[in-house]
Every structure is written in C-alpha cells, then in structure tokens.
Amino acid sequence: MAEDREPGAFMGVILAAGKGRRIQPFSDATPKPLLPILDRPLILWQIEAMRGLGITDIVVVIGHLGHEVVQTLGDGSAHGVRFRYVEQENVLGIAHAVSKLEPFVDRPFLLFLGDIFFETENLGQMLEVFASEGVDGVLAVKVEEDPEAIRRNFTVDLDEAGFVRRVVEKPRHPRTKLKGCGLYLFDTTIFDAVRRTPRTALRDEYELTDSIQIFIEYGYGVRSAAVVERDLNLSEPADLLRLNLHALDGTGERAYVAPSARIGEGVELERTVVMARAEVASGAHLERCLVMPGERVPKGTYADIIFSGGEELACR
C-alpha cells in the first residue's frame, strides 16, 4: 500500500454505540464503555493502549447515550489525544458502525470494540505485522481452550502461508482454537468490503466478519497477531464485578478505595472495590464486592454484591 505505516500515521477507532440491554440496569444511565473499572471508564483503558502506540487521532462511534460519552471524554486534550465523534443512529451491527467511519478515516486504523477489557502482550506487533509485504489487515487473536468462548466470538482459519483464509462468526462447531478477539487493524480499503456486506440472518445485522471474508475474497491480505492474553467482555451485571476484581488482582492489593471515598472505622475489605464518593459504614465487612460511585453501604456482612442505585445486586 502507498500509505506511510509508521505508528504516527495510524488512527484509532473505538465503537461505543451499543445499548447494552443485557447489562441493565447499569446501561440505562451509562453507556457500557463508560462503566468504571477501578474508578476509570473502560474506554480510557483502551485510549491509553492506543496512546502507548503513538496513536493520538481517535474516532469514537457513539449511539446510545452518546452525549454522555462526549461529555466524559471531551475533545481528548485531557488524555493527550484528539477525539472526533461519529453517530450511529441505528445500531445494526459492527460492520454498520464501521461504515459510518469512511468519511472520517483517511489512514490505516486500529479498531477496538468499546465493551471489551483487553490485556495484551506487545500490542505493537499488530503494527509490525501490518507493515509486512502484502498485508492489508491484522486480526488480534488468542488460542482459546474453552469451546464456549469460541462460540461466543469467531474463529480464524489460516492458510499454509499464515494468511487468514476464513473467519466464522459464532461457530456451532469450531474447527480451530484460534479465536478472534474484537481488536483489528485495517487499511482503508476495508471500506470497499464493508459497503458490499449484506445483512445476515444470524442476528439481522451487518457482521464485520462477513466484511473481512469479502475483503479476503477480493484478494486483500489479512494476517493474525497473537497479542491478546485476555479479552473480558462487559455483557452482564456480574461481568462488571468480575472485571473490577480482575483489575484489582492485577494491582496486588487486597482492595481498591478511591481517594474521595469514605471508609468508617473497623471496616474490613477483601477483594473489594470502592469507587469515588462512596461511603462504607463503620463495622461493615465486604468480600468480593463492588461499590459504585456515590453509593452508601450500611453496617453488615456482604459477599459477591454490587452496590448500585441504592440496591444490592447479588452476583454469585
């Protein structure tokens, strides 16, 4: 391709338009990408990953409660990047969201799905693979031993030369353990394939995996990069607790307490996250709990609970 492939020439894209029906009641007031992981919106973890690669020009696709995303992120200057926002009025699948980007993207772009918490090793390898001869797209993958996890995502089948020859969305009978993880790098030529992507019967949406298959069949080169160690989807309420506890475990601490939180005397916190402006009453004992911003926890013993909206949501 003719484009300069140095990291500074790449753009970033984050898809943040989904309604998140399965994670209600949280998504009623907050878009999924803004839900907090250790008191920081999930989307900020992705932004920091992009910035670490030198990507500072980022397009965010918004839809459900998009004004909340814009209000939270602003123009990007507070995070050392520049944001542009594109609205997806009708949420009709990932390929449909990508189709909205074409007027705003003029360089190769790294694409994140905004409701997935990624842990990667050498994410920059995607850019290195992209710079190889004959490569127009890179799919982040991991070897997945859990067949159910593969069925929830898509499989990636490679040819003898290591190029992707087929991707299969939500396969009932996976033929490979190589799982696609919702993290992509594409040349702008992907838009030709996106425009020709039909609406599918699987979910009555425009699937990005269909676009990728069309892209491959047009003769464009797509490779994979095994850069994902964990990809944790934020799909249901219990996922919010699990994600926070996972991030907490990564700090090596027994608990996370936001600076503005108030903790009473004699409080015991085991694998618990207490977010901004929250209050935990004296004598409370919390184990594997998440206290959302501004919540108040009375004295008592709690386990596997999310405190949100003045209620206790059990997550066993």
pLDDT in tens, 153-212: 999 999 999 999 999 999 999 989 999 999 999 999 999 999 999 988 667 789 999 999
Instruction: Specify the CATH number for the domain of residue 55.
Output: 3.90.550.10
In a domain, 216, yes or no: yes
**Domain end call among 215, 233, 251:** 233
3-state secondary structure of 256: strand
Q: Give the domain extent around 118.
A: 7-233
Q: Note whether 308 and 295 are within 8 A (CB).
A: yes
Mean pLDDT of 81-107: 93
Residue 22: pLDDT band with limits 50, 70, 90: confident
Record the tokens describing residue 244, joined without a space.
């926070």
| pLDDT at 5 (0 to 100) | 44
Spell out the residues 6+ positions from residue 120 whose beta carbon is closer than 8 angstroms to its own.
Answer: 49, 140, 183, 227, 228, 229
Q: Is 38 exposed, middle or buried (0-12, 13-18, 19+ CB in 10 A)?
A: middle
Residue 26: pLDDT band with limits 50, 70, 90: confident
Record the tokens describing residue 27, joined without a space.
């998504």
Spell out the residues 6+ positions from residue 144 whose beta carbon is closer than 8 angstroms to its own.
Answer: 150, 153, 177, 178, 179
Distance CA 181, CA 113 (A): 9
Backbone angles phi, psi at 46, to 5 degrees: -70, -40
**Same domain, yes or no, for 141 and 255?**
no
As a whole number, the mean pLDDT across the chain is: 93
**Same domain, yes or no, for 225 and 246?**
no
Mean pLDDT of 232-259: 94
| pLDDT at 143 (0 to 100) | 94
280 has pLDDT over 60: yes
**Domain end call among 233, 260, 285:** 233
3-state secondary structure of 40: strand
**Domain end call among 210, 233, 256:** 233
Backbone angles phi, psi at 132, to 5 degrees: -70, 160
Q: Note whether 241 and 306 are within 8 A (CB).
A: yes
Q: Which pTM does this prediction carry?
A: 0.92
In a domain, 2, yes or no: no
Q: Is 194 exposed, middle or buried (0-12, 13-18, 19+ CB in 10 A)?
A: buried
Q: Note whether 256 and 241 are within 8 A (CB).
A: no
Spell out the residues 6+ positions from residue 19 whose beta carbon is closer than 8 angstroms to its own.
Answer: 27, 63, 64, 91
**Same domain, yes or no, for 29 and 86?**
yes
2 has pLDDT over 60: no
| pLDDT at 1 (0 to 100) | 38
Cα-based distances in Å from 113 to 23, 138, 173: 16, 15, 24
Looking at residue 176, the DSSP 8-state letter turns out to be -
| pLDDT at 89 (0 to 100) | 84
**Same domain, yes or no, for 95 and 188?**
yes
Looking up tokens 């694409």, which residue turns up?
Answer: 111
**Same domain, yes or no, for 114 and 166?**
yes
Rg (CA), the chain: 20
Residue 256: how many other CB atoms lie within 10 Å: 20
Residue 277: pLDDT band with limits 50, 70, 90: very high
3-state secondary structure of 143: strand
4 has pLDDT over 60: no
As for how many domains the chain has, the answer is 2
Q: Is 316 exposed, middle or buried (0-12, 13-18, 19+ CB in 10 A)?
A: exposed
Of 9, 7, 29, the residue nearest 19 (C-alpha): 29
In a domain, 1, yes or no: no
| pLDDT at 3 (0 to 100) | 41
| pLDDT at 6 (0 to 100) | 59
